[in-house]
């Protein structure tokens, strides 16, 4: 199981949805970076359950405790270990022998020889807490270089019955990115962004710039031509050409499927292959929005911080 993301700026995380805690180690962050703990906790608050009608009724305070790598609010250049306790844990023992449709339960059983159906274990969106903590540190690093990441719904949510779930499209915009981030051929910036976004729970699609609409355009309509002073006349490439940032706004869209747990019976089977019924409860979100916004921003920040360190030889 892969639990590490990044090359120079890396996060290795641990913990399950219904375990004692989740946490991780951030490695590669340069020394001397000012850490705004209020900002980090605000990022966690954005990801935490809310009073939104689409949000879970599980309530976690999600306050992070840093164990190493930071002193007097500045990074030391050593590994940054952190911990976030799980407080509101209520295992659903009634469904722990049922294969949950479109969940990880079947494929985890096939791959590892056992299932972890108590809140989906490592496959739970609870794991994204760790991404947000690491992403917040990465955002603070990027801010030093004038790079800002924002996200929003890319399209209105469709109406959703109270016992069902819906998907969402999220648009991400990154401003202030210098030219030269990304590596040719196998480690392109857009390829790494796609990899990062599709690692998020429920993500099913990624398109950069004009995306799939590019397939319907002529080359004369699509090409991002430049004028004197190297000024671009359009941005259909979404700020990335040949896998390398070109200094324009980087923008992309991520599509998320409906959350597979909803509050109506679903016919399925158990782990013995016998007919069974699975029904969710109020402790599951009905849509990834709005809680997924800080997660997609965090993964974007991790990718950009990693490439920034590669380009700048680990200097801040």
H helices within the chain, ranges in order? Answer: 37-47, 105-112, 128-143, 189-198, 219-222, 293-312
Contact present, 168 and 246 (Cβ < 8 Å): no
Distance of alpha carbon 265 from alpha carbon 95, whole angstroms: 12
Statement: 4-312 belongs to CATH 3.40.50.1820: no
Residue 4, CA atoms < 13 Å, CB-side half-sphere = 10
Report the C-alpha gap between 54 and 162 in whole angstroms: 9
* Cβ within 8 Å of residue 78, ≥6 positions away: 68, 69
d(CA 236, CA 39) in angstroms, rounded, equals: 33
Cis bond before residue 290 (omega within 30° of 0): yes
Q: Where are the domains of the chain?
A: 4-312
Take residue 148 and report the two structure tokens written for it.
């800002």
pLDDT in tens, the chain (316 residues): 689 999 999 999 999 887 889 999 999 999 999 999 999 999 999 998 865 667 655 566 788 999 999 999 999 999 999 999 987 666 655 567 889 899 988 898 888 887 665 556 788 888 999 999 999 999 999 999 999 999 999 999 999 999 999 999 999 999 999 999 999 999 999 999 999 999 999 999 999 999 999 999 999 999 999 999 999 999 999 999 999 999 999 999 999 999 999 999 999 999 899 999 998 877 788 999 999 999 999 999 999 999 999 998 645 5
């Amino acid at each position: 199981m892969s639990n590490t993301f990044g090359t120079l700026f890396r996060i290795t995380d641990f913990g399950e949805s219904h375990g004692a805690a989740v946490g991780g180690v951030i490695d590669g962050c340069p020394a001397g970076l000012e850490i705004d703990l209020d900002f980090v906790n605000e990022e966690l608050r954005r990801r935490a359950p809310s009073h939104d009608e689409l949000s879970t009724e599980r309530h976690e305070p999600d306050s992070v405790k840093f164990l190493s790598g930071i002193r007097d609010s500045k990074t030391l250049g050593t590994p940054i270990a952190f911990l976030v306790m799980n407080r509101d844990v209520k295992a659903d023992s009634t469904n722990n022998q049922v294969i949950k449709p479109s969940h990880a339960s079947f494929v985890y059983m096939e791959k590892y020889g056992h299932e972890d159906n108590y809140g989906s274990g490592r496959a739970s969106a609870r794991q994204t807490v760790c991404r947000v903590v690491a992403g917040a540190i990465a955002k603070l690093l990027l801010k030093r270089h004038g790079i800002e990441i924002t996200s929003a719904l890319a399209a209105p949510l469709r109406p959703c019955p109270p016992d069902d779930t819906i998907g969402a499209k999220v648009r991400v915009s990154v401003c202030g990115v210098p030219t030269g981030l990304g590596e040719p051929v196998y480690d392109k910036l857009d390829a790494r962004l796609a990899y990062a976004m599709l690692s998020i729970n429920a993500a099913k699609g990624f398109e950069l710039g004009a995306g799939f609409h590019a397939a319907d355009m002529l080359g004369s309509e699509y090409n991002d031509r430049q004028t004197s002073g190297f000024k671009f006349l359009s941005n259909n490439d979404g700020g990335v050409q040949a896998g390398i940032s070109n200094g324009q706004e980087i923008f992309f869209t991520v599509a998320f499927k409906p959350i597979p747990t909803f509050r109506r019976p679903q016919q399925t089977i158990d782990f013995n292959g016998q007919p069974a019924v699975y029904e969710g409860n109020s402790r599951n979100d009905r849509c990834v929005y709005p809680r997924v916004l800080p997660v997609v921003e965090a993964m974007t920040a991790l990718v950009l911080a990693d490439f920034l360190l590669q380009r700048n030889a680990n200097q801040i």
